Amino acid sequence: MNMFSRLSATAAASLLSLIGTAQAQSSVTLYGAIGLDVLSASKVYNGTTTNSVVKIEDNAIVNSRIGVKGTEDLGGGLKAIFDLESSIAPDTGAARSQFWNRGAYVGLAGSLGSIKLGHQWNVADDYMGNYFMYGYYSPFLMSGFYALSDYYDNAIKYNSPNIGGFEGGLYYSAGENATRKSAGQKIQGAVVYGTGPFSIGFTAFSEKNPALPAAGNKMYAGGVSYDFGVLKARLGLATADVEYAAPFKAKLIDVGVDIPITAAFSTSLDYVKKDVKDSPDDTEFVRGRLSYALSKRTSLNANLIFLKNSGAANFAFVSELAGFAGQPGQKQTILTAGITHSF
């Protein structure tokens, strides 16, 4: 072998070594979940009449989605991160709204926490699940309390590391309005403390209306939970001050318990009430959930919900109208049974 051949072989070996090292320091993961429920609901309003309905719907506990995420080790404990996630409607196979609607961000993570830029979930979604019931049939679906769990465009999000049991986050979504910088912007902060079985947390949210300079929405929420082993007790409290088209103020309470009956079988029960200030237009519901794990990735589950509106309140979990609208003062009963699989 001549000198040129030996140098070429050495260079090739070095390049392959570098590629192997880069691959070892980086990872890309395809992931997702798919779930479907058979749903039976009473008093489903179509704008004219109410009737019972049976549907095949996206799962109420694990919403169906597909995503790709990855990391790159940058050295010194710092890594680059990204995530692209899309929700799907498995009953029809359709994508929901914009394709990467559940997440499209890139950022950095290290010993000082993480910072991410893009379309992403707010910080309340990271922490308030310790106190409020999450998934479908949850209190954040009711008007004024969406900021308990929501995602926004053009966002910067910081999550701190856990320091002595404390952790939290800050969130800013730019309105991108050249006429008025604050128009359409959203700001949120959250802090939690946990030690052993005990957890307590708080979040504050402010949003500016992009069309009405003087109007905005505010929401404050907090909660406490304690895991007794045989059950986990939760209490979530929130207030909302809505200044948009039809202004109102309201309080929200979520009292719940999660019970691990066996390693595979679990149940939970929640009572939720939305109380509109100086108004009889209130909504309350009770939700019971059962889940049985067939494996680490596949579960059977069921939900039973009793919903009651008072006064002119017309919230409905299942409706033929946009915005979950039912008839004023109506009740609704919902029963679901389904299966979920994650990968």
Which residues touch 174 (CB under 8 Å, ≥6 apart)?
A: 154, 155, 156, 184, 185
Nearest partner of 110 among 71, 69, 77, 74, judged by Cα: 77
Residue 36 lies in a domain: no
Q: How many domains does the chain have?
A: 1
Residue 14 lies in a domain: no
pLDDT in tens, the chain (343 residues): 443 343 334 434 443 343 344 444 899 999 999 999 999 999 999 999 999 999 999 998 888 999 999 999 999 999 999 999 999 999 998 887 788 999 999 999 999 999 999 999 999 999 999 999 998 899 999 999 999 999 999 999 999 999 999 999 999 999 888 878 788 899 999 999 999 999 999 999 999 987 776 688 999 999 999 999 999 999 999 999 999 878 999 999 999 999 999 999 999 999 999 999 999 999 999 999 999 999 999 999 999 999 999 999 999 999 999 888 999 999 999 999 999 999 9
Within 13 A of 146's CA, how many CA atoms are on the CB side?
Answer: 11
Q: What is the DSSP string of 74-110?
A: EETTEEEEEEEEEEEETTTTEEPSSTTTTEEEEEEEE
Residue 181 lies in a domain: yes
Q: Which residue has the tokens 């997702």?
A: 32
Range of the domain at 177: 42-342
Residue 24 lies in a domain: no
Nearest partner of 299 among 135, 105, 100, 107, judged by Cα: 135
Residue 128 lies in a domain: yes
Residue type, 22: A
User: Is the CB of residue 186 less than 8 Å from the CB of residue 204?
Assistant: no
Rounded to two decimals, the pTM is: 0.88
Residue 104 lies in a domain: yes
Residue 34 lies in a domain: no
Q: Which CATH number covers residue 280?
A: 2.40.160.10
Residue 99 lies in a domain: yes
